[in-house]
Structure 1
Amino acid sequence: MAERGGGPVRPVAQALPACLLSLATAVAALCALPLLGPLFADADWWRGPASAVVLLAVVGAAAQWVRLPAAVAPVLQLVALTAAVTARHAPDAALLGVLPTPAAAKRLIGLVLAGVLDIRTNVIPVPATDGIVLLVTLLLGVLTVSAHLMAVALRVPGVAGAALLSLVAVPLTVHHEGVGRSAFATAAAGFLLLFAVDSAVRAAAWGPRTTPRGGREARGRAAVAAGLWGLGAAGTAAVCVVLALLVPALVPGLASGSVFSLVEQLRAGGRTVTTVDPLTSLRGSLSSHGNRRVLEYHTSDPDPEYLRTHVLDTFDGETWTMSPVEAAAEDRLNGTIPRSPGLSGGSAGTSVTTDVTVSAEVRGMDFLPLPYPSSDVQVTGEWYVDPDTLMVFSPDGEAAGLTYRVTSTASTPDGDALRSAASAASLRVDQRYLDLPPLSAEVARLTEDITADAASPFDQALALQDWFTGGDFTYDLDPPRVPGGTDPLAHFLLDSRTGYCQHFASAMAVMARHLGIPARVAVGYTAGEHVGSDRWTVRESDAHAWPELYFAGYGWLRFEPTPGAGQPNAAPPDYAAAAPERTPAGEPRETAGPEPSTAPERTPAGEPQETAAGEDSRDGERFSADPAADADSVDGGWGAAAFAAAAAVAAALLAVPALVRHLVRALRWQRSRGAAESARAAWSELRDDLVDLGWEWNPAHSPRTVERLLLARGPVADRARAALHRIVAAEEAVRYAPHTPAVPDLAEDCRTVRRALAASSPPLSRVRAVLLPRSLWASRPRRVDARGMQTRGGRGAHRDPHA
């Protein structure tokens, strides 16, 4: 029972600081929630996650109020989180509406998988489906529990705040506009509040204890100390926040609307231009539920060319990416564009003028849509041209609402002339357009079979194009998922044969490189819809990807392997539309004999799609889609990956206390410069090791008494006995001798005693000492009775001078 007067501090006063820290952690978590706001199309998405955080705050504060062990609070919070999501998403399948049953667990797992699928198949902002809301609730709940453990139990609020602020990475990674000012300010305010409360609690603990005499004065000193320390912490954190806002604005290259940018490297000098992954943007445009107008243009060409924005020239075995482009002074656009690489004077066509007006609603367009090849672009603002690809881009501006004029060439090369173009071996072209990771034997054999009767590189290109458009492939924005452990390119070409433009363009470019034809993938828009006279309209649904192949004298030429039924405005150019008589596209696969890799009957194009629909597990292909669209099957691979991720998170959480204890020990010895400091460090380590193992510590006992009580517990090896005696003698010298003699290897003595103490402790105590070292949060004084170190401190206990 608590005593009056000079007795111990009342339990309410002891529990209140921890309760305040618990509530401050929850407030910080709620303040971080607006960071995810731009990702959702519905305004009420936050209700479920916010209610879960409030529940976790109540449970955490209650655990601190009744003074439960620090390791118990996270367990109770996780149980409460489980009950909350069960009550919200599977109440009819749960016991009493909140206790999970196997049926409820199965439904929750199904919702999680559906949420993952919704994230992959929807464009930001996504609808607040039950699956996505459940994922966000679980994510924020786990982060809140982790932050509570670090801020309240381990008393490291900086690490707790960092865990909550990790939510910043989500919008920065997937949203081109990044984090809004108000959301950032709200999250920063929660971070500051957590620091301020922690500082105030620490300052109040350092103040003088309240006594009957001078109680008002003591309380005043404590309040002043808490206020000063709180202001100091808030000021330090505010400086950090201001620097975080100013540094990106002052350092070129850091002020980007998205952390994941396809271009992050530098060529010699100049500024690197960052842009959202073109394939990710393409998929978002095609999958968008709306069909907004992107641009309008007037042109003198009755059959306009595609409008190209990006060129992807690097294939890593899974996806196509774009080499870095740099805004160098010598490449600033002054109207004239360099000559198209590989284009000779004899192959020039008719000059075409196009006036383009970009919609003011377009966001993030920092590469101009242009017909290829262009020779002149008249545009206002700071724009640059990449001399290798002729892409026109801006490091700072956007094209929204912009009007510009383009002069290009309408070229119609002759097929016979293309057949007589220089061979691939004699081409002078950058090697990056031929680089290719090793292909599977099935894909290589299939490519060679399709083009077996082609007499020239141009005929090979036509054979590939006609094979894709010959009727064996299906256009679908939701192609079947790639089974785990399967090569995505082989799966697309041989099994599913279902995809959309970026799958066909990517596959044809890879196969062309295998044949020695320089190839790359272009991303942009088709010509769009002819709306009258010389006016055309381009919408989101006209977003497109196509392969460009290089032929000497004619440069980079467009091909169209995407089946026409998928995108009506997509059509092959005149030089590739009429192919000569040659082996039909299906026959090379039949001549391959019993090879399963080339048999058209292996898996009909429609069946994988129906299976995927039945399993609700459709997704894009890794080799031509964004990396987030790739995963194993829902029933097998994804579950294993989720389990592995959960196990990794759990292991990381379990390792945090042990890492902090190791850090405390290392810092303690690092700061010990002299003999006295080393002796005090050794004594503090002995105390912490005893507390970690569950042995009670009484700071009122003299070093000699501690030694006697420890040796009385059982037999101790001579080496450990000698090490303990040196630690005790060093501490006595610090306390009582005028000068402290140097004692070598006190750190090694501490390790020897620690091993001896652990050997004489139960196995469970040894495990707990490693995973949950009590010395990190055990701050109450303790005492021993006449039988040894076994009871908790109470009245009469004194503070350890080195605590």
Structure 2
Amino acid sequence: MGRIGGGTVRSSTDALARTLLSLATAVHALCALPLLGPVFGDAEWWTGPVTAVAAIAAVGAAAQWTRVPATVTSVLQLVALVMAVTGRYAPDAALLRTVPTPAAVARLVDLLFAGVSDIRTNVIPVPATDGIVLLVTLLLGVLLVSAHLMAVTLRVPGLAGAALLSLVAVPLTVHPRGVGGGAFAVAAAGFLLLLAVDSAARTASWGVRVPPRDRRGGRRWTAAASALRGLGAVGIAGTSVVLALLVPALVPTMTSDSVFSLVGQLRGDGQTVTTVDPLTSLRGTLTSGGDRRVLEYRTADRSPEYLRTHVLDAFDGENWTMSPVRADAGDRVEGPLPRVPGFAGEAAPGTVTTDVTVSADARGMDFLPLPYPSSTVRVAGEWYVDPDTLMVFSPHGEAAGLTYRVTSGFPEPREEDLRAAAPSAPGIDRRYLAPPSLSEEVTRLVEQVVADADTSFDRAVALQDWFTGGGFDYDLNPPRVPGGTDPLAHFLLQSRTGYCQHFASAMAATARHLGIPARVAVGYTPGEHVGSDRWVVRESDAHAWPELYFEGYGWLRFEPTPGEGQPTAAVPDYATPGPAEPTAADADGAEESVESAAPESAPPDEGAAAEQNPAPEERPTADGPAGDGVPGAVAAVSALTVLSAVPALLRHLVRGLRWRRARDAASLARSAWLELRDDLLDLGRPWNPAHSPRAVERALVEDGRLDADARAALHRVVAAVEAVHYAPGPFTVPHLAGDSRTVRRALTAASPPLSRVLALLLPRSLWWAARTAEPRRVRRP
């Protein structure tokens, strides 16, 4: 024990070094937490992960100080992680509020599945729900246990730091802005601390370092050698971190702070413009389950146009993407926009002015929502316009909280003019005509659809009517495309189920096959009319639609998405052919038929006329003989009673046919979901088709008016709908019709008496379905 530098001293020093290294690894994990900050919309998400890190760090440090074997240490840390999450999320079902029991484990498993569902149905930044935070806590805990094993036991701190820094891949992959410099600097500081502690521990394990002798026999460090030795691994790592922060800011082509970008190149000389994938952002917005306000605007137009943000012109057979745009000084928005591509006329004399105010919560919007086509844009800041598409964008700023004014007013073309438009477009960019390679089955199907169309415009309308004619279903959770299958062929030939992205992409691709220049536009429908000249656009109004080119008229919008999917979507007047006007031959034929229908005999005399048309006081009443109105009143009451029962009978018939046609698990789940929708509508409850099944369930449960049996039945219906879309194999929930009936009775019992009566006599689901079965026509003033 008295041996200097012997086993006892060396062992104590090593235990202390490993204890400090264990704590440094935990500090590095805490420093890596800010990397996940951009993913969450709430600030309270970090308390759960911090608690788990503290528990794992305490166990790890105690195990190193008491010299517990490495394998046992990892097991103890995992146990501490489980106890930490149990004490936070299921304390009432646990032993001593921390030791997991079967009930506590079941609750944690349910939370995990709920977290996976929340991730699928929410857009970034996600809310800090218990399920999502539990997933993050477990992920960070497992990473910390692995990093502790690598840094303390295997003594490879660089690899341990890389494991924890892998968290940076999450925001870089899913968030449009990536990771901020502050969060990266904090994570890098934690990594440097881990390297510094490991370097000090290694030095301490070898004792005091003796400098070499010089020529005179003295021992001293040269200045250069001292600087290099002092720099060491920590200095090299710090230099690398500084370079990693400075080089992207100094190199123009590396200014993007996110690897999840679509446009990161230049077209000509200009600034780099980076934006998120519009279609991915669209799907995240529609399936988020929320309905936040995006913007509002004022306009005198009674039927406003869609608000377009992005134009996707490149199609690789599976995906639509946007060609790179440039931010040249000559294209800066300072009032009038460039001439509308392909439009040969002039702007309408009565222009429309639209004042747009973007919500302060609409983060990441670097492309302005604008009606197309627009003639001028008055906006503050550095904004540029792409002359080919008239998209207005900013390479540095965003539109959150911005107010701008747009003027438009171009005459809407007539059907006969579009039919007479030139079938070819000599001045159009060839990228809009690049035909996709369609399979033989799809080609044959498309040619059958347009077989009776003579002009390009007629073919376009035929395609649009085919998609909206009832053969396709709108669903935000379409069936998954099997591996190795062409997505377009699967959508057109097999599933025939999707949302606006699928319909817009399919119509644009098939239009190109027919020789019509086409592209896909992304933006918003006009939204909700809330005042005389005021409109509100929400997340559920996000939309995609095709734009087709006609020589002399430019790019025109079409609407192939079925009306029940987007209630605020509308088919433009020029794409909704009305009844054909009668020709002269038709008019002559009609006159001849009227004349031939008239009797050839002479008109009756006045007496006969008097007999056929008695005086008002002598005419028999509808109730029968004068003075006897009872039988007529009874007949009227009976007729009213029968008529009042017709809606209820129709609703009962729809319900019966719906369940009778359901044969497999998918159709049964869909029937249960549609019945829930109709029941809520009948009772006057709100229904948003953009909400996910889990969001609908959460809203009904939080309402607090469903009993335990109804909540269980509702959960089984939602589970069946989710299983059909997400389960890897066949999944059947029995007695869905009974569950649907249980939920309906509970909803009816919890509704006011007036709502029950209206649900029985005037079920809103009948006229709501009829109104959304066909796209709503919008007539221009």
- What is the TM-score when the length of structure 1 is the normalising length? 0.64
Structure 2 counterparts to residues 550-561 of structure 1, below 5 A:
550-561=549-560
Distance in 2 separating the partners of 1:271 and 1:175 = 22
Q: Could you tell me which residue of structure 1 aligns to residue 459 of structure 2? A: 460
Structure 1 contact 49–140 (Cα < 8 Å) conserved? yes
Quote how far apart the aligned CAs of 1:552 are: 1.7
Quote how far apart the aligned CAs of 1:28 are: 0.8
Instruction: Identify if the C-alpha distance between structure 1 residues 270 and 382 changes in structure 2 by more than 3 Å, giving closer, same or farther.
Output: same
Amino acid paired to 2:515: G
SS across alignment from 1:327: coil
Amino acid paired to 2:432: Y
Distance in 2 separating the partners of 1:188 and 1:323 = 35
Quote how far apart the aligned CAs of 1:30 are: 1.8
Structure 2 contact 479–725 (Cα < 8 Å) conserved? no
Distance in 1 separating the partners of 2:451 and 2:93 = 60
Report percent identity of matched pairs. 69
Q: Could you tell me which residue of structure 1 aligns to residue 341 of structure 2? A: 341
Quote how far apart the aligned CAs of 1:547 are: 0.7
Quote how far apart the aligned CAs of 1:139 are: 2.0
Distance in 2 separating the partners of 1:603 and 1:553 = 51
Instruction: Identify if the C-alpha distance between structure 1 residues 439 and 246 changes in structure 2 by more than 3 Å, giving closer, same or farther.
Output: same
Q: Could you tell me which residue of structure 1 aligns to residue 142 of structure 2? A: 142
Distance in 1 separating the partners of 2:228 and 2:23 = 21
Quote how far apart the aligned CAs of 1:122 are: 0.8
Q: Could you tell me which residue of structure 2 aligns to residue 416 of structure 1? A: 416
Amino acid paired to 2:274: T
RMSD: 4.3
Distance in 1 separating the partners of 2:420 and 2:541 = 34
Q: Could you tell me which residue of structure 2 aligns to residue 451 of structure 1? A: 450
Instruction: Identify if the C-alpha distance between structure 1 residues 534 and 190 changes in structure 2 by more than 3 Å, giving closer, same or farther.
Output: same
Instruction: Identify if the C-alpha distance between structure 1 residues 129 and 533 changes in structure 2 by more than 3 Å, giving closer, same or farther.
Output: closer
Q: Could you tell me which residue of structure 1 aligns to residue 754 of structure 2? A: none
Distance in 2 separating the partners of 1:202 and 1:240 = 22
SS across alignment from 2:409: strand
Q: Could you tell me which residue of structure 2 aligns to residue 563 of structure 1? A: 562
Greater shift after overlay, 490-499 or 313-322?
Answer: 490-499
Amino acid paired to 2:333: L
Quote how far apart the aligned CAs of 1:559 are: 0.3
CA deviations 1:18-60 (Å, max 9, x no partner) are: 2211121012112212322342345443344333333433444
Instruction: Identify if the C-alpha distance between structure 1 residues 359 and 109 changes in structure 2 by more than 3 Å, giving closer, same or farther.
Output: same
Quote how far apart the aligned CAs of 1:89 are: 6.6
Is 1:500 aligned with 2:592? no
Quote how far apart the aligned CAs of 1:490 are: 4.0
Distance in 1 separating the partners of 2:338 and 2:554 = 13
Amino acid paired to 2:548: L
Quote how far apart the aligned CAs of 1:348 are: 5.8
Instruction: Identify if the C-alpha distance between structure 1 residues 96 and 509 changes in structure 2 by more than 3 Å, giving closer, same or farther.
Output: farther
Structure 1 contact 351–407 (Cα < 8 Å) conserved? no
Structure 2 contact 292–538 (Cα < 8 Å) conserved? yes
Quote how far apart the aligned CAs of 1:170 are: 1.7
Quote how far apart the aligned CAs of 1:556 are: 0.9
Instruction: Identify if the C-alpha distance between structure 1 residues 468 and 257 changes in structure 2 by more than 3 Å, giving closer, same or farther.
Output: same
Structure 1 contact 34–183 (Cα < 8 Å) conserved? yes
Structure 1 contact 351–408 (Cα < 8 Å) conserved? no
Quote how far apart the aligned CAs of 1:307 are: 1.7
Amino acid paired to 1:519: A
Amino acid paired to 2:20: L
Q: Could you tell me which residue of structure 1 aligns to residue 365 of structure 2? A: 365
Structure 2 contact 436–509 (Cα < 8 Å) conserved? no
Distance in 2 separating the partners of 1:354 and 1:297 = 10
Instruction: Identify if the C-alpha distance between structure 1 residues 167 and 296 changes in structure 2 by more than 3 Å, giving closer, same or farther.
Output: same
Amino acid paired to 2:549: Y
Structure 1 contact 473–498 (Cα < 8 Å) conserved? yes
CA deviations 1:536-593 (Å, max 9, x no partner) are: 4433333221110111222111001122233332111110122678xxxxxxxxxxxx
Q: Could you tell me which residue of structure 1 aligns to residue 124 of structure 2? A: 124
Structure 2 contact 287–692 (Cα < 8 Å) conserved? no
Structure 1 contact 462–579 (Cα < 8 Å) conserved? no
Structure 2 counterparts to residues 235-634 of structure 1, below 5 A:
236-256=236-256, 258-288=258-288, 290-345=290-345, 349-350=348-349, 352-359=351-358, 361=360, 362-424=362-424, 427-435=426-434, 437-482=436-481, 487-578=486-577, 609=670, 634=726
Structure 1 contact 263–273 (Cα < 8 Å) conserved? yes
Structure 2 contact 366–397 (Cα < 8 Å) conserved? yes
Distance in 2 separating the partners of 1:427 and 1:608 = 51
Q: Could you tell me which residue of structure 1 aligns to residue 196 of structure 2? A: 196
SS across alignment from 1:272: coil
Instruction: Identify if the C-alpha distance between structure 1 residues 547 and 119 changes in structure 2 by more than 3 Å, giving closer, same or farther.
Output: same
Structure 1 contact 498–605 (Cα < 8 Å) conserved? no
Q: Could you tell me which residue of structure 2 aligns to residue 665 of structure 1? A: none
Structure 1 contact 496–608 (Cα < 8 Å) conserved? no
Distance in 2 separating the partners of 1:610 and 1:197 = 62
Instruction: Identify if the C-alpha distance between structure 1 residues 193 and 532 changes in structure 2 by more than 3 Å, giving closer, same or farther.
Output: same
Amino acid paired to 1:407: T
Greater shift after overlay, 77-86 or 356-365?
Answer: 77-86
Distance in 2 separating the partners of 1:102 and 1:455 = 69
Structure 1 contact 349–412 (Cα < 8 Å) conserved? no
Greater shift after overlay, 74-83 or 291-300?
Answer: 74-83
Q: Could you tell me which residue of structure 1 aligns to residue 728 of structure 2? A: 636
Instruction: Identify if the C-alpha distance between structure 1 residues 322 and 523 changes in structure 2 by more than 3 Å, giving closer, same or farther.
Output: same
SS across alignment from 2:351: strand
Distance in 2 separating the partners of 1:112 and 1:270 = 47
Distance in 2 separating the partners of 1:427 and 1:421 = 13
Amino acid paired to 1:53: V
Distance in 2 separating the partners of 1:56 and 1:550 = 62
Q: Could you tell me which residue of structure 2 aligns to residue 168 of structure 1? A: 168
Distance in 1 separating the partners of 2:318 and 2:109 = 29
Q: Could you tell me which residue of structure 1 aligns to residue 7 of structure 2? A: 8
SS across alignment from 1:521: strand
Distance in 2 separating the partners of 1:398 and 1:89 = 38
Instruction: Identify if the C-alpha distance between structure 1 residues 350 and 110 changes in structure 2 by more than 3 Å, giving closer, same or farther.
Output: farther
Q: Structure 1 regions of 5+ residues with no counterpart? A: 211-220, 582-599, 620-629, 639-803
Greater shift after overlay, 334-343 or 234-243?
Answer: 234-243
Amino acid paired to 1:172: L
CA deviations 1:164-207 (Å, max 9, x no partner) are: 12212322332334435654444233223212211221232343
CA deviations 1:716-748 (Å, max 9, x no partner) are: xxxxxxxxxxxxxxxxxxxxxxxxxxxxxxxxx
Amino acid paired to 1:557: L
SS across alignment from 1:548: strand
Structure 2 contact 666–724 (Cα < 8 Å) conserved? no
Greater shift after overlay, 459-468 or 602-611?
Answer: 602-611
CA deviations 1:121-140 (Å, max 9, x no partner) are: 11233233443233213321
Amino acid paired to 2:540: S
Distance in 2 separating the partners of 1:194 and 1:264 = 35
Instruction: Identify if the C-alpha distance between structure 1 residues 61 and 442 changes in structure 2 by more than 3 Å, giving closer, same or farther.
Output: farther
Distance in 1 separating the partners of 2:78 and 2:662 = 51
Structure 1 contact 178–258 (Cα < 8 Å) conserved? yes
Distance in 1 separating the partners of 2:396 and 2:184 = 22
Q: Structure 2 regions of 5+ residues with no counterpart? A: 211-220, 581-660, 676-690, 695-721, 731-781
Q: Could you tell me which residue of structure 1 aligns to residue 31 of structure 2? A: 31
Structure 2 contact 347–409 (Cα < 8 Å) conserved? yes
Distance in 1 separating the partners of 2:229 and 2:409 = 70
Amino acid paired to 1:636: P
Structure 2 counterparts to residues 103-118 of structure 1, below 5 A:
112-118=112-118
Quote how far apart the aligned CAs of 1:430 are: 2.5
**Residues paired across the two proteins, number:** 594
Distance in 1 separating the partners of 2:674 and 2:57 = 41
Structure 2 contact 358–403 (Cα < 8 Å) conserved? no
Distance in 1 separating the partners of 2:68 and 2:436 = 58
Instruction: Identify if the C-alpha distance between structure 1 residues 92 and 292 changes in structure 2 by more than 3 Å, giving closer, same or farther.
Output: closer
Structure 1 contact 192–238 (Cα < 8 Å) conserved? yes
CA deviations 1:317-342 (Å, max 9, x no partner) are: 44322111111233333433222222
